[in-house]
Amino acid sequence: MPTATKAFAAHAATTPLGPLDIQRRDPKPGDVEIEILFCGVCHSDLHIARNEWGGTTYPVVPGHEILGRVTRVGDAVSRFKPGDLAAVGCMVDSCRTCDSCKRDMEQFCLNGATYTYNSPDAHSGGMTYGGYSQRVVCDEAFTLRVPTNLDPAAAAPLLCAGITTYSPLKRWGAGPGKRVGIVGLGGLGHMGVKFSRALGAHTVLFTTSAGKVEDGKRLGAHEVVISKDAKAMAEHAKSFDLIIDTVSADHDLNAYLNMLKLDGSLVLVGVPPSPQPVHAFGLIAPRRTLTGSLIGGIAETQEMLDFCGEHGIQCEIERIRMDQINEAYERMLRSDVKYRFVIDMASLR
């Protein structure tokens, strides 16, 4: 029988989030049931709650940075038992048969991944509901192990903010002997700085805010460049192997393309609201690449979590209660958080 579960949901694009009772399925043979302890707050949650990307089905329960304690498992589950820490990220299923899935890149499933919320749910016939709730049930294949040496609250945002920056850093070879730039010091950017430094790259933070210089260095940046300072930017021209751009506001991509050396790559993980103009010669003459990256597959997400356990990496967070989510959204729009809100789900019980 389905289990009644308290949740917080957006009921319309223009109304505050509020309580909603939802149903979670009983664990099937391959399922893991998790009591949610903490759920990170991603900017995507706000976009979908307010239908800013289109396609939101209401009511929608956001949340895809889920960490909790296993309460029940199905008979076929082998990697989890009650009492274990476990996590669920941005996806809860995929077709598992296409070329992308066979290559452990379920985020690029050719038949469409099933996202943790606001996706058609093959089990219920409705839509998936996310982590702003008491519990979640997930297929073992999409459930992740959590290193026990990490603070569970500070580990929750690794499920999106962490993998979103770890994946391109690994894909484009951040490491010793490489110069890596991170654009923006927010929820994504602060994790990019930590990962780049831990991977052994010379790490440079680009920020518009002089107030973030010391924080950038504290988090691991070797250098911090104020991107509004034309002289400082010019001093770094043509010197980077890789730049990860985490900014979701309109900004000049050409300024960062000019920072790349021959065969350097600018990778977008932020989503500006408008198309951004790019000068063709900025790509052609020095043979530079402008590309993008989307979260990571399940295997790579597990690799990222294990890497965090080995290196003691976790997010800089501010804990909030569930009933503070609407205020948190407004603060997030003002960049008034260092650097990720995390909901303590005990406040929903």
Asked whether residue 166 falls in the same domain as residue 155, the answer is no
Residue 82 inside a domain? The answer is yes
- Residue 108: give its domain's CATH number: 3.90.180.10
pLDDT at 206: 97
pLDDT at 1: 65
Residue 304 inside a domain? The answer is no
Asked whether residue 143 falls in the same domain as residue 26, the answer is yes
Residue 309 inside a domain? The answer is no
Query: Taking each helix axis from N to C terminus, what angle separates 187-198 and 161-171, rounded to the nearest 10 degrees?
Result: 40
- Residue 200: give its domain's CATH number: 3.40.50.720
Asked whether residue 9 falls in the same domain as residue 137, the answer is yes
Asked whether residue 25 falls in the same domain as residue 136, the answer is yes
Asked whether residue 12 falls in the same domain as residue 81, the answer is yes
Task: Provide the whole-model pTM.
Answer: 0.95
Query: For each successive 10 residues of the chain (349 residues), what is the average pLDDT?
Result: 90 96 96 98 95 95 98 97 97 97 97 97 93 98 97 98 98 98 96 98 95 95 95 95 95 95 97 91 94 97 98 97 97 92 93
The 8 Å CB, 24+ separation contacts for 106-113 are 106/142, 106/297, 106/298, 107/294, 107/295, 107/296, 107/297, 108/294
Asked whether residue 143 falls in the same domain as residue 184, the answer is no
- For strands 223-226 and 179-183, give the pairing: unpaired
Asked whether residue 176 falls in the same domain as residue 228, the answer is yes
Q: How many domains, in total, are found in the chain? A: 2
Nearest-angstrom CA–CA distance, 156 and 39: 6
Asked whether residue 180 falls in the same domain as residue 144, the answer is no
The three-state secondary structure class of 91 is strand
Residue 276 inside a domain? The answer is yes
Residue 300 inside a domain? The answer is no
Domain span holding position 59? 3-159+314-348
The three-state secondary structure class of 9 is strand
Angle ∠(133,38,249) on CA atoms, nearest 5? 90
pLDDT at 82: 97
What backbone phi and psi angles, to 5 degrees, belong to 232?
-65, -40
Spatial CA neighbour of 136 closest among 91, 88, 90: 88
Asked whether residue 166 falls in the same domain as residue 80, the answer is no
pLDDT at 272: 87
Handedness of CA 42, 142, 80, 303 (dihedral sign): negative
Asked whether residue 175 falls in the same domain as residue 151, the answer is no
Residue 298 inside a domain? The answer is no
Handedness of CA 172, 177, 183, 184 (dihedral sign): positive
Asked whether residue 34 falls in the same domain as residue 140, the answer is yes
**Which tokens hold the place of 108?**
């690029």
Nearest-angstrom CA–CA distance, 224 and 311: 23
**Amino acid found at 15:** T
pLDDT at 155: 98
Spatial CA neighbour of 295 closest among 168, 122, 185: 168
Peptide bond into 166 cis (omega under 30): no
Asked whether residue 24 falls in the same domain as residue 150, the answer is yes
Query: How many of the other CB atoms lie within 10 Å of CB of 330?
Result: 10
Contact in structure between 309 and 149 (CB atoms under 8 Å): yes
